[in-house]
Amino acid sequence: MPTDRPTAAELVSAVKQHLQDNVVPVMEGQPAFHLRVAINALAIVERTMADGETMNRAELERLRVLLGEDGNLIDLNRRLSAQIEAGEMGEQKDTLLTHLRRTALDKLQLANPRYLIPRD
């Protein structure tokens, strides 16, 4: 890959860290709220750059087994959606539900892992 260090992931981390350390302390009110939302978005990018590819490979492999077909992630997910809607996945219900739960967990690990930790 034709890039020097810092990598894209390292740059995202640097921007996030800068906003947190130097901009958050001088902001208040609605701009401060939106800044926290922005930092949140960068954290999603950070986690996706670290783990997204591994998760995608595993999801693709599960989809190939479930559907018995090859294709890219979007195409196989479209096919799976269509088959669920048509009620054609009944025989594989347990495998299907395990796959859907695993995929949803991975998405959540990227989007908001704190959601998985109860407060009570």
Output 5 or 114, the one with its CB closest to another protein.
114
Position 117 contacts another protein (CB under 8 A): yes
Output 11 or 105, the one with its CB closest to another protein.
105
Give the chain as a 3 state SS string: CCCCCCCHHHHHHHHHHHHHHHHHHHCCHHHHHHHHHHHHHHHHHHHHHHHHHHHHHHHHHHHHHHHCCCCCHHHHHHHHHHHHHCCCCHHHHHHHHHHHHHHHHHHHHHHCHHHHCCCC
Position 24 contacts another protein (CB under 8 A): no
Position 12 contacts another protein (CB under 8 A): no
Output 17 or 98, the one with its CB closest to another protein.
98
Residues 77-106 that bind another protein (CB under 8 A): 77-78, 80-81, 84-85, 87, 96-97, 100-101, 103-105
Position 50 contacts another protein (CB under 8 A): no
